[in-house]
Amino acid sequence: MKRNRRVKILATLGPASNDEAMIRKLHEAGADVFRINMSHADHDTMRETVARIRRVEAAVGHPIAILADLQGPKLRVGKFVDGKVDLHVGDEITLDDNPEPGNASRVFLPHPEILEAVQPGHRLLIDDGKLQLVAVAADGRSIRCRVVAGTRISDRKGVSLPDTTLATGALTEKDRRDLDAVLAENVDWIALSFIQRPEDLAEARKVSRGRAGLMSKIEKPQAVERLDEIIELSDAIMVARGDLGVEMPLEQVPGIQKRMTRLARRAGKPVVVATQMLESMITAPVPTRAEVSDVSIAVFEGADAVMLSAESASGDYPVEAVATMDRIAREVEKDPLYPGIIFAQRPAAEATGADAVSLAARQIAETLNVAAIVTYTATGTTGLRTARERPQIPIIALSPILGTTRRLTLAWGLDCVHTEDATDLDEMVDKACRIAVQQGIARAGERIIVTAGVPLRTPGATNMIRIAYIGSDGLSSI
């Protein structure tokens, strides 16, 4: 099933969209990847949702990727005697290890790691920044804070720590249980929430053992400060603009988004732009003009994927939201300015065989104006390096490994096809020609570029480029 756009759409499933008929409608409207938010899904719900997606995948005959988004550490204050208290700027309130219900002077903070890490001068943002505190004194068991903005705090509100690096890792006990459960269902991507440092990926990497790609959600200032290292150790990244906009000045987020998009492309790692992209479509059938511009900017920047959250999970117009995002992306990619912007951001090739072959394939393809680049990829590396080049012609990624095919559906411009392995080079080229025709991307009389590794079935050995002419029988005539 050929998409008429290169950027991919990631749609979150939820109460409004997790039945099989709706999942198929969302896929047909343009969703390439489905996200299961483990903050709201128990294991039975997750398993049922995965099964429904796989049935839709079998029905449409096209690979669909599944992203399981782990909740990460949820930091919250305790409860109050009256459920809430009113405060004023300049007031002081203490967060401590006393589990008794709070009042206007103190409240329980059931997170010893915060009590031990916060230092005087650090900010604490409550309820997505609606109440802003600054630490005045801290002794490891309590934090005395002064109110600098906001007027109210109530039961179980979240706590954000833009200035504090916690000693604990990114995986909670719930995350560990969820990770085991989603890996057992063969999901394709795992999103890790509230990453602070590169070391936060180590445990998930050890548990997953390559069974799923790891996507780091960048939503904390500490992660932004070590972005290069985190990207290097991740398989993909997500610009999680919601929490990032809480913990950092909002006016800095657009620049961080651009920086992250370009760094990820340079590294050849997929990057997803997420949060509030079409927020008004939760309750309205059309987006605002500002939201259309927001999606357009992400596409112009060369993001691999744009994501819908509540718009598709719990909104009133999930199909319309996906279809709208699809139309916006296709219109941007038809814009005369789009190729030049994408070309201007093209990173220099690295000194690897996969990069050299991918660069040469793109240059030959554009010089000869061929119909497509067809790349054979076992691990997915060659497919991602080809996508990194952002060629202006279609890319078909062929793999005999279904998991690789599904995982690559997240990447920019890749039309992914699961196919049996070829026995020799001639069969490989014939198969590439036949699939290019079947996908509606090439026709008899046109040429394609084929890249692969010789000898066959040698992971990481991409070293061959072939120009193939498609004969009248749909096979290579050269």
Catalytic residues: 35, 76, 217, 275
Cα(308)–Cα(154) distance, rounded to whole angstroms?
29
Reduce the DSSP state of residue 172 to 3 states and report it.
coil
42: left (phi over 0), alpha (psi -120 to 50) or beta: beta
What is the full DSSP assignment across 398-448? EES-HHHHHHHTTSTTEEEEE-PPPSSHHHHHHHHHHHHHHTTS--TT-EE
Q: CA-CA distance, 46 to 53, in Å (whole number)?
A: 11
| CA dihedral angle for residue 107, residue 113, residue 118, residue 124, rounded to 10 degrees | -50
Q: How long, in residues, is the chain?
A: 478
The residues, ordered by sequence, that sit 6+ positions from 289 with a Cβ below 8 Å of its Cβ are none
Q: Which residue pairs, CB below 8 angstroms and at least 24 apart, start in 146-152?
A: 146/90, 146/91, 146/92, 147/87, 147/88, 147/89, 147/90, 147/91, 147/92, 147/93, 148/89, 149/89, 150/87, 150/89, 150/126, 151/86, 151/87, 151/88, 151/89, 152/84, 152/85, 152/86, 152/87
* Residues with Cβ within 8 Å of residue 390, at least 6 apart in sequence: 6, 265, 302, 342, 343, 345, 346, 412, 413
CA atoms lying within 13 Å on the CB side of residue 422: 24
Using CA atoms, how far apart are residues 314 and 232, in angstroms rounded to an integer? 34
- 356 Cβ neighbours under 8 A, 6+ residues apart: 349
Rg (CA), the chain: 24
Residue 322 dihedral angles phi and psi, to the nearest 5°: -65, -45
**d(Cα 77, Cα 281) in Å, to the nearest integer?**
32
CB neighbour list of residue 186: distance below 8 Å, 6 or more residues apart: 50, 211, 212, 403
Cα gap 67→214, rounded to integer Å: 10
Q: Which residue has the tokens 């903050």?
A: 39
Identity (one letter) of the amino acid at 241?
Answer: R
Contact 114, 166 (CB under 8 A): yes
